[in-house]
Structures are given as C-alpha cells and as structure tokens.
C-alpha cells in the first residue's frame, strides 16, 4: 500500500498502535461508504497507507521485543524472549 521509505507525518508518528488502528478503521469505513469525493478519497487513501505503515512498524517492533531467534541443531527458531 505505501512505500516503506515514506516519512510519516508527525501526528501519525506520535500515535500509539491503538490510535493509528482506530483512525485507519475510520478511513476504511469512509472510503468503503463511497460518499467521499475523488480528491478527498485520494487524500484519505494516502493517510490510510501511512497509518497502515505505522501500525505494521509498531507490530514488527513489538514482535522483535518479545521474540528471540535461536540457532540450534534443529535449525533456526523463534522463542519468547527473556524479558525482565
């Protein structure tokens, strides 16, 4: 949806995952409703792509913090990290 190298607007970059997801859901509902003009649809789609990118980055960060990669005799696996 979005270029992964796109710089996010400050308001999106400062959002929590939950805030970004809630706004993304609102954007999707409005676009699916079909009651938005073309120019507004393009702007909303762009913002939705940025919100999606932010959510994906937040999820990837969370996953990296709660898993560790282990290389063993059976190959490579991910295990819960020792957080504490």
CATH code (residue 37): 1.10.287
Residue 1 lies in a domain: no
- Which residues constitute the domain of residue 57? 10-80
Helix axes 38-66 and 17-33, enclosed angle (nearest 10): 150
How far is residue 10's CA from residue 44's CA, in Å, rounded to a whole number? Answer: 16
Residue 4 lies in a domain: no
Residue 16 lies in a domain: yes
Residue 41 lies in a domain: yes
Residue 46 lies in a domain: yes
Residue 52 lies in a domain: yes
pTM, two decimal places: 0.72
What are 11-66's pLDDT values in tens digits?
999 999 999 999 999 999 999 999 999 999 999 999 999 999 999 999 988 887 77
**Domain count along the chain:** 1
* pLDDT score, position 73: 73
Residue 5 lies in a domain: no
Residue 27 lies in a domain: yes
What's the helix, strand, coil split of the chain in %, to 5?
60, 15, 25
């Amino acid at each position: 949806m979005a270029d992964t190298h796109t710089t996010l607007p400050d308001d999106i970059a400062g959002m929590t995952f939950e805030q970004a997801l809630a706004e993304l859901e609102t954007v999707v509902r409005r676009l699916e409703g079909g009651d938005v003009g073309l120019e507004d649809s393009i702007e909303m789609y762009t913002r939705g792509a940025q919100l999606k990118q932010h959510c994906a980055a937040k999820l990837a960060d969370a996953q990296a913090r709660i898993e560790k990669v282990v290389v063993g005799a059976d190959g490579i696996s991910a295990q819960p990290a020792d957080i504490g």
